[in-house]
């Protein structure tokens, strides 16, 4: 068993250094490597700014993972880290064992440093955990710059917090001396003119995930599109709540949509596409689909208005042949022919794992169209069909067609139409009775892993009631 006393003695010696006004880089360079993480934690939490500057310059690893220490950031200590980095970036000092190449501000577990320090002290941690170079994340940084800063950005307020303001000012003033790389970018409320200033600083090549949920209009989206086209390593795009202004002419709308969809020609790694409440897709989905260059794994088009022709274009798109997730929640299909959806399900039957057709308004006469294709989706693990006004007989038929889908772990079905009275009000006792009957029919056919029959949303509390083994009512 390894004796823990020496590391603890070293920690005590290190702590005394933090109180030593004569602390120098030379002194720090003589310290054992395993002492740096606990000593840095103490300097950061204790706001020993001068010691922090020196420790950053003498940091004996390639990567400094500061993100988990920034949960409750102190602008003064963060500025001290940046001041320490200045000597490296501008090469004002030459250090004997200068290794630091990456300042990592990405979010990790809060106890990351504590666990790392304990494992490092025991001698069980491989050094390459801290010495891995992030070349694969940033194509343009190879051999060009001594320092790369990684940060995940969530722009949810009108202005940046104090630490991010310091970071962006510091990066802007040192243009050409370092890279600012962001793998995950969320835009949740900041005005676009502020976002634009940030996009001009960030290395767009590094961005892999983008979420836009800012209630933009189509003209603002058009302003964002040139930046989207530069995110050439984008894997995941979420776009929500984009409205077409009533003041835009059809010609101008077409121009804006073309500007946006043409950027997808440059996104050669896109695999996950989510579009929610995007009003410009109606009649234009073919423009978007024709510009996709990759095979998507996830496609979610939810709460949008589409034409039947849009559904046909979707069924013919080459980029959907390897889908694992298809989510069409809230797409009104009541008056459509579901033959295109049948064709789509046939194409993805070998890969589809998650299918969501909630609240699509699908009625009895439409269900039979998709049943043969659905019954061949053998990889399906989750199937959700809630909110569609179908009868008891149709549900029984639907359940018969899922009998051979052995991988199904979760099934969500609507309450039978017979559970409601003529005015559309749920009769709870009737729902419980029909739910018990359906559950009994299912068990006669197969042993389900998890199956629920769900009502429409309650007009008072906004929740659904559901039947599993018994009735679980909404909160009101």
Query: Which pLDDT does position 119 carry in this prediction?
Result: 55
Domain of residue 73: give its range. Answer: 9-119
Residue 112 belongs to some domain of the structure: yes
Evaluate whether residue 78 is within a structural domain. yes
pTM: 0.88
Of 8-17, 22-31, 302-311, 428-437, the poorest mean pLDDT is in: 8-17
Task: Indicate if the pLDDT at residue 288 is higher than 70.
Answer: yes
- The two three-digit tokens of residue 339, written as one number: 């033959």
pLDDT at position 412, please?
95
Q: What is the pLDDT of residues 414-431, one digit of tens each?
A: 999 999 998 888 898 898
| 69 part of a folded domain | yes
Q: Where are the beta strands (DSSP E) in 156-286?
A: 179-181, 184-187, 209-217, 236-243, 272-278
Name the more confident of 6 and 99.
99
pLDDT band at 1 (very low <50, low <70, confident <90, very high): very low
| Angle of CA points 285, 290, 292, to nearest 5° | 100
- 435 burial type by CB count under 10 A (0-12 exposed, 13-18 middle, 19+ buried): buried
User: Is pLDDT above 50 for 3?
Assistant: no
Count of structural domains, the chain:
1
Mean pLDDT of 352-376: 96
Which residue did the predictor score with more confidence, 111 or 292?
A: 292
pLDDT in tens, 212-271: 999 999 999 999 999 999 999 999 999 999 998 778 888 999 999 999 999 999 999 999
Higher per-residue confidence, 1 vs 356: 356
**110-157 pLDDT, tens per residue?**
566 666 555 555 544 444 444 544 444 444 444 445 689 999 999 988
Predicted confidence at residue 469, as pLDDT, reads: 61
pLDDT in the model for residue 92: 57
287 is a domain residue? no
> What is the band of 11 on the pLDDT scale with cuts at 50, 70, 90?
low
Decide if 79 is inside a domain: yes
**For residues 433-450, average pLDDT:** 87
Least confident of 258-262, 346-350, 430-434, 456-460: 456-460
CA 129 – CA 61 distance, rounded (Å): 9
Q: Classify residue 107: in a domain, yes or no.
A: yes
Considering only CA atoms, which of 130, 80, 70, 140 is closest in space to residue 100? 130
Q: Which residues contact 105 (CB under 8 A, 6 or more apart)?
A: 66, 67, 70, 149, 150, 151, 152, 167
Note whether residue 89 is domain-resident: yes
Confidence class of residue 4 from pLDDT cuts 50, 70 and 90?
very low
Q: Is the pLDDT of residue 181 over 70?
A: yes
Share of the chain above pLDDT 70, in %: 84
- Assess whether pLDDT exceeds 70 at residue 354: yes
Which pairs from 249-257 meet CB under 8 Å and 24+ separation? Answer: 253/218, 253/280, 254/284, 256/218, 256/219, 256/221, 256/222, 256/280, 257/218, 257/284, 257/287
Domain annotation covers residue 448: no
């Amino acid at each position: 068993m390894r004796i823990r006393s020496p590391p603890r003695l070293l920690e005590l010696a290190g702590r005394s250094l933090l109180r030593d006004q004569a602390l120098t880089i030379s002194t720090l360079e003589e310290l054992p490597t395993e002492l740096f993480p606990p000593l840095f934690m103490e300097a950061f939490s204790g706001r020993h700014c001068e010691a922090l500057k020196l420790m950053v310059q003498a940091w004996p690893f390639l990567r400094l993972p500061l993100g988990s220490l920034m949960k409750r950031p102190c602008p003064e200590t963060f500025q001290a880290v940046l001041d320490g980095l200045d000597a490296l970036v501008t090469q004002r000092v030459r250090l004997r064992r200068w290794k630091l190449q990456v300042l990592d501000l990405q979010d990790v577990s809060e106890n990351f440093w504590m666990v790392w320090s304990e494992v490092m002290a025991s001698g069980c941690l491989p050094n390459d955990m801290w010495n891995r170079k992030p070349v694969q994340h940033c194509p343009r940084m190879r051999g060009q710059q001594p320092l790369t800063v990684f940060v995940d950005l969530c722009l949810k307020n009108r202005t940046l917090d104090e630490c991010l303001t310091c970071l962006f000012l510091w990066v802007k003033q040192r243009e050409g001396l370092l890279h600012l790389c962001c793998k995950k970018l969320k835009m949740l409320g900041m005005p676009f003119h502020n976002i634009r200033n940030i996009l001009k600083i960030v290395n767009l090549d590094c961005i892999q995930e983008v979420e836009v949920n800012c209630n933009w209009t189509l003209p603002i989206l058009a302003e964002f599109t040139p930046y989207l086209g530069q995110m050439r390593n984008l894997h995941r795009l979420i776009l929500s709540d984009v409205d077409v202004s009533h003041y835009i002419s059809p010609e101008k709308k077409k121009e804006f949509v073309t500007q946006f969809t043409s950027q997808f020609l440059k996104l050669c790694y896109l695999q996950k596409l989510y579009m929610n409440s995007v009003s410009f897709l109606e009649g234009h989905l073919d423009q978007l689909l024709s510009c996709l260059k990759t095979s998507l794994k996830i496609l979610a088009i939810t709460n949008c208005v589409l034409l039947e022709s849009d559904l046909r274009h979707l069924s013919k798109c080459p980029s959907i042949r390897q889908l694992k997730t298809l989510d069409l929640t809230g797409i009104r299909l009541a008056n459509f022919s579901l033959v295109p959806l049948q064709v789509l399900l046939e194409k993805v039957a070998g890969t589809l794992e998650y299918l969501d057709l909630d609240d699509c308004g699908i009625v009895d006469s439409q269900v039979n169209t998709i049943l043969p294709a659905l019954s061949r989706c053998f990889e399906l693990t989750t199937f959700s069909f809630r909110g569609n006004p179908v009868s008891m007989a149709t549900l029984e038929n639907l359940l018969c067609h899922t009998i051979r889908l052995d991988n199904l772990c979760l099934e969500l079905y609507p309450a039978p139409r017979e559970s409601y009275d003529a005015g559309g009000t749920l009769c709870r006792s009737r729902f419980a009775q029909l739910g018990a009957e359906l559950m009994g029919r299912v068990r006669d056919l197969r042993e389900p892993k998890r199956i629920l029959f769900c009502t429409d949303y309650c007009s008072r509390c906004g929740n659904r009631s559901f039947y599993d083994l018994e009735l679980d009512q909404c909160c009101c």
